[in-house]
Amino acid sequence: MELRLYLRQLQRGWWIIALTALSALNIALITSFLSTPLYRASARFVVSPNLTLTTRGSDIVNSLEALDKRSIVATYSEVLSSDSIYQDTATALQIEPGELNDYNLTAVVMPDANILELAVEGPNPEQAALLANSVGQRAIDYVKGLYPVYNIDFLDYATTPHRPFQPNPARDVSLALALGLVLGSALAIISEQLKIPLDALRRRTQVDNLSSAYLRPYFQNTLLERELAHNQNSSLSLGLVRLDGLRDLIDTLPTVAVRRLLHEVTKILRSELRGNDIVGRWDEISFAVLLPATPAAAADRTLVRIRQALSEKLEIEQIDFELDPHTGVATSLGREASKMLIERTESALAKAHETSALTIFVTEKS
């Protein structure tokens, strides 16, 4: 179930995923285009016992045992990556300090072997290879006096690299695309998760919790104003339904019962209306119905049906309730302020209540 939910969220947020992936792809391409190519030149060295100083078999065995402890090889690795060796080599090669900052030197010990690798990375492939070999030779000369019983010599000289290791457009684009898809998917899910509380907050400010009809502020200030603007050249009717039978029940019934009762009223109202008609809760015992593109005669018939439907007893939790409905309606023709339409509708409702519960007064703008 959770997987299906996430899949639907990803489907709805496909544009976020696509946009993020394309952005990451563009960034990778631009970065690859603007980056300075870097080359890596590597030289390898082997450490072995000095056979000229270890003539006896026991000396050779002891030397090999010492090499197994890795301390000798690790020391040589530190010498290869020493700053002093590096600086002395650069001075001998007449390389400027500023130019030297563009190069990076690393020395590593190969696993399970007495082999060291010295790598130099920089923008000039020829100079990178020259530095690797020169630093290696200077380190060899330096360590000869440290451990006379061991030799360190070149195993492989550094050669001039022909292709840069960085940037690698194919690798960078693939990685950027994958990261963009992952990040885009995460953003799409987060976006959908954020919509849930936002929708709940929006619903709380628009919909009445007890009746599920629109709240009066939203109904009056947003929906009514919008429909008046859209129906300037056609009839628009506003009806009010007051349920006097609820007057003493709202404050005495449990909240659960009130909610069920008002929900049922809203359900009845909607069943008597068209799909584009709107139901709102006007006050504690009154509802409003907005009838777009509805002339006075049609609005009259609609309110008659509503009054008849609500005049029947409503059973909630095995208790019959008489709602005692009164209705009033006003029709607007042409441009009319919402305040005037509301006043005329409320006046019609008041007259209906004063005269008879079964009387509807339809008022129309003259």
Kindly report, residue by residue over 257-286, the tens digit of the pLDDT.
Answer: 888 989 999 999 999 998 889 999 999 899
pLDDT of residue 134: 94
CATH class of 214-364: alpha beta
Common-topology check for domains 39-156 and 214-364: yes
Strands (E), the chain: 39-49, 104-109, 115-122, 150-156, 214-215, 236-243, 278-281, 286-292, 314-316, 319-321, 325-332, 361-364
Give the C-alpha separation, 250 to 281, whole Å: 14
pLDDT digits (tens, 9 = 90+) for 8-67: 777 888 888 889 989 988 888 888 788 888 999 999 999 887 766 555 544 544 554 554
CATH superfamily of 39-156: EIF_2_alpha (3.30.70.1130)
Q: Could you tell me the residue ranges of all domains in the chain?
A: 2-34+168-204, 39-156, 214-364
Backbone Cα Rg of the chain: 43
> What pLDDT shows up at residue 64?
47
Average pLDDT along the chain: 82
Is the pLDDT assigned to residue 366 strictly greater than 50?
no
* pLDDT for position 279: 92
- CB environment 232-264: b (16+ within 10 A), e (fewer): eeebbbbbbbbbebbeeeeeebeeeebbbbbeb
Alpha helix locations (H) across 144-249? 169-206, 216-218, 225-230
